[in-house]
Structure 1
Amino acid sequence: MSSKISEKFMVSNYHKARNLFGNLDKNIKMIEEELDVKLIARGSEINIEGLPEKVELARRTLEEMAKLLEEENTVSDRQLNYIIELLQDDNNLDFSSIFNEVIQVNHKGEEINPQTVGQKMYLEAMRKYDIVFSIGPAGTGKTYLAVVMAVKNLLNHRVDRIVLTRPAIEAGEELGFLPGDMQDKVDPYLRPLYDSLFDVLGPDKVREYLEKDIIEVAPLAYMRGRTLDDSFIILDEAQNTTTKQMKMMLTRIGFNSRAVITGDITQIDLPYNQKSGLGQVEEILKDIEGIEFVYLDETDVVRHNLVRKIITAYEEKENE
């Protein structure tokens, strides 16, 4: 039986040490609990005590946290859990290399990479599971990364078509006051999906695929009564589906199809007397194998730096 050992870990300066330790040393406490070690923090030094293999894991966890703090100001609980989980599978893993993975090259020849730990987890879930729910605030890449993975699956011939849909709830499903035919009326509500497609494939290729029905972009109401085989299906803005609509959409999924459902449960536009299908779905489907829920948060926001602060400020206000 191995004897316990002690090893020191040094942080470059006191400010970084405070971020590494976390508020009220919460990061230290989490590492202690998860790895069964004792961490004693003094200034910019941490003493690690425990069994040799656990001490090594704790040291590597602290190393990877320090690398992450070079890019971000804090390490979230979810990020720390992810680091510990990955290192237990592969202690030699260079955590920063996770973000160097090229998911796809867009039509301009630019590489598309995961930008955050949460995005990496989201991508892994889309590779592994047939149905993935991605829940989180605006700017976390929920829709964009789903479109990237859909295009990747299409170009690699894993599916024959892409189906993108979202509820037109902003207009209360009553689109008659808008000019043009039905497609003209709903296109403004589908614009974010087109934008993502244009960025990845380019406008010319998107138009070609739309004409050939290889890509379909349509409001949720158009999905009723259909069976979608050999498709990569994306339901966007799912917080604005009712329970019945969510069930309807999920039961459209056919053979050799994958589905990604994205939404932000803090921005529900449904009438007060209707419950969000996205808000209820985890409780209903939580025990079904093959379905995965991924939660993104403000640490995954990849828009303007102020967006993250805005989301945090709203969350703090709502929690008061």
Structure 2
Amino acid sequence: MAQQILGDLDGNLDVIENLFSVQLIPKGQEIVVKGETEEVEQAIFLLEQLSSQVKKGKRISSFDIKYAAKMVKEGKESQMENLFDEIIYTTARGKSIKPKTVGQKEYVQAIDKNDIVFCIGPAGTGKTFLAMAMAMAHLKDQKVNRIILTRPAVEAGENLGFLPGSFQEKVDPYLRPLYDALFDLLGVEKVEKYMEKGIIEIAPLAYMRGRTLDDSFVILDEAQNTTSEQMKMFLTRLGFDSKAVVTGDVTQVDLPSGKHSGLIEVTKILKDVKGLSFVYLSDSDVVRHELVQRIILAYEKYNSG
């Protein structure tokens, strides 16, 4: 048990010791904690929580430890309840997809409870990946018949016209992150099979015009780059027995000068509408490399100064 918590070669031992200013001494299947009373109590609480997860067969990552420790240090232990328990989807390779932060858990719960969810937050917070995992779960449980993934084809400093090839080949770079996530969740062969049958569709936002999307789980990604007109068009496509998730980072708008972001505008227009939800993730929900979190904070500090 102790080995599973502390990791290979006690890789997590230093992490916990530094976070709580305590000394951990592994003794067989037990861990002795030494230090100041308050720090020791917090470290023991953390270890008990981690031990509980290990007993349930969960694998504990260094991110899980650091995030759980942060919650304990901030006195938010109650928010950790069942945080690591909810498995949304299991990938083709057997990897369990689950919320890793309180914000992510709120996001997943919002998708369960609402037909339209807007998720706004910085890069690396799992906005798109979690939405796609939820879409896969809904498809598997036959709650929907198809999944539709879309993005606005907006250039982020590069000119689309200079890319070689057909129109489809030109737009593929904008949609590539969606393909990558699908391959991770389903595997290449199954993705190709589902796309051939029309069960999964990936297309630029312009292709949504004039359609009614019934029995579908629809994800609009990079929504900060929609115009006001495009956002309204997308939201009014939703048909019966469908869900829509809209994701975006309002700090990374690539629209031409003079164009207003439909995502920023919709937070004001629909803030009081029942049946939909706005979820805001922050730098504390970043689940990529630690440097990503620091970079986001540095940019926020720079822009606010």
TM class by smaller structure = 0.7 to 0.9
CA apart distance, 1:79: 9.6
Amino acid at match of 1:300: D
CA distance in 2, matches of 1:173, 1:215: 28
Q: Is residue 146–residue 234 contact of structure 1 (8 Å, CA) maintained in 2? A: yes
Say how many residue pairs are matched.
Answer: 260
Amino acid at match of 1:157: Q
Query: Of 236, 261, 267, which aligns to 2:221?
Result: 236
TM-score by length of 1: 0.73
CA apart distance, 1:177: 3.3
1:109/1:137 CA distance change after superposition, 3 Å? same
Question: Structure 1 residue 168 and structure 2 residue 153: aligned?
Answer: yes
Pairs within 5 Å for 1:1-320:
16=20, 71-72=66-67, 74-75=70-71, 80=76, 95-170=80-155, 175-320=160-305
Residue by residue, what CA displacement relative to the aligned partner does 1:109-164 show, whole Å, maximum 9, x if unpaired?
A: 11112111111111111111100000000000000001000111111110000000
Q: Which runs of 5 or more structure 1 residues have no equivalent in the other structure?
A: 1-11, 18-42, 47-62, 87-94
Q: Which runs of 5 or more structure 2 residues have no equivalent in the other structure?
A: 1-15, 22-35, 40-44, 51-63
CA distance in 1, matches of 2:148, 2:127: 16
SS of equivalent to 1:256 = coil
SS of equivalent to 1:148 = helix
Q: Is residue 13–residue 44 contact of structure 1 (8 Å, CA) maintained in 2? A: no
RMSD of aligned residue pairs (Cα, Å): 3.2
Q: Is residue 99–residue 120 contact of structure 1 (8 Å, CA) maintained in 2? A: no
Amino acid at match of 2:219: I
CA distance in 2, matches of 1:189, 1:243: 20
1:22 aligns to what?
Answer: none
Of the structure 1 ranges 251-260 and 106-115, higher mean CA displacement relative to structure 2 is found in: 106-115
CA distance in 1, matches of 2:230, 2:215: 22
Report percent identity of matched pairs: 57
SS of equivalent to 1:271 = coil
Residue by residue, what CA displacement relative to the aligned partner does 1:180-221 show, whole Å, maximum 9, x if unpaired?
A: 222111111001111111110111000001111110000011
Q: Is residue 79–residue 118 contact of structure 1 (8 Å, CA) maintained in 2? A: no
CA distance in 2, matches of 1:144, 1:117: 16
Q: Is residue 119–residue 296 contact of structure 1 (8 Å, CA) maintained in 2? A: yes
CA apart distance, 1:67: 6.3
CA apart distance, 1:173: 11
Amino acid at match of 2:100: Q
SS of equivalent to 1:247 = helix
Amino acid at match of 1:219: P
Amino acid at match of 1:71: K
CA distance in 1, matches of 2:246, 2:273: 16
